[in-house]
A and B are shown apart, each in its own frame.
Chain A
Amino acid sequence: DAGVIQSPRHEVTEMGQEVTLRCKPISGHDYLFWYRQTMMRGLELLIYFNNNVPIDDSGMPEDRFSAKMPNASFSTLKIQPSEPRDSAVYFCASSFAGGGGGETQYFGPGTRLLVL
């Protein structure tokens, strides 16, 4: 398997623009997670899905952030409008509940977002 795939790997945008981050989980995985990593706040869980349904979005910072998972192989995290404080590395991770391995999360390579 190719692992978790994220795109783009790097994104530079200007304040006020819409940003869309994409994720393809590992085939067969039924959980998908979006994280944000910054120096100040470390690794934060934003939202997670089970079988394409959002389960917990309590980590989403504000209404400017939204996430969707239209099918088992694709998810998006959208920021509209973007602000400089959104600059961070955004990770997508997936896991399989029946894996017998403690539902290990496998991470994508991350998207480095810079909002000017």
Chain B
Amino acid sequence: AQTVTQSQPEMSVQEAETVTLSCTYDTSESDYYLFWYKQPPSRQMILVIRQEAYKQQNATENRFSVNFQKAAKSFSLKISDSQLGDAAMYFCAYRTTYKYIFGTGTRLKVLA
């Protein structure tokens, strides 16, 4: 069965600095999608970035980028120029068929 592991329950970063959140997954499939979602205190789940497994190029969305290592089954999220509004829970997710499997989340604190 597929699993998603986020080994960092909490991370802190200084405003304007860069932080990387880790995610590993386990699967026997070759074609799949990976996602990072952000959940601020409002509890709304917001899509941050998406990566197709068949693409070698790492996805980027403005200040957010991923380091996708398919062989290592690793999918980390890098946030550059961190802002106070980035403070939230971040969830890594793996999509199999139409079901998502979520990690347990990493709480990101941004220090002014």
* Residue ID in chain A nearest B50 by CB atoms: A102
Is B44 a contact partner of A107 (Cβ separation < 8 A)? yes
Known: A93-B45, A109-B42, A109-B43. Contact between A103 and B52, CB under 8 A?
no
A42 to B43, Cβ gap below 8 A? Answer: no
| In the complex, A87 has a CB within 8 A of chain B | no
Interface size on A, residues (CB 8 A): 24
Chain B interface secondary structure, helix, strand, loop or mixed?
strand
A42 close to B98 (CB less than 8 A): no
The interface residues of chain A lying within 8 Å CB-to-CB of B91 are 43
Question: Would you call the interface of chain A mostly helix, strand, loop, or mixed?
Answer: strand
Contact: B45 with A48, CB < 8 Å?
Answer: no
| Contact B102–A102 (Cβ < 8 Å) | no
Q: Closest residue to B46 on the A side, CB-wise? A: A107
Given contact pairs A31-B98, A109-B43, A110-B44, enumerate 14 new A-B contacts (beta carbons under 8 Å): A42-B103, A48-B98, A48-B99, A91-B45, A95-B98, A97-B98, A101-B50, A103-B98, A104-B35, A104-B47, A104-B50, A107-B45, A110-B43, A112-B43
- Interface of B toward A, CB cutoff 8 Å: 33, 35, 37, 42-47, 50, 52, 91, 95, 98-100, 102-105
Interface residues of A (CB under 8 A from B): 31, 33, 42-43, 45, 48, 50, 55-56, 89, 91, 93, 95, 97, 101-107, 109-110, 112
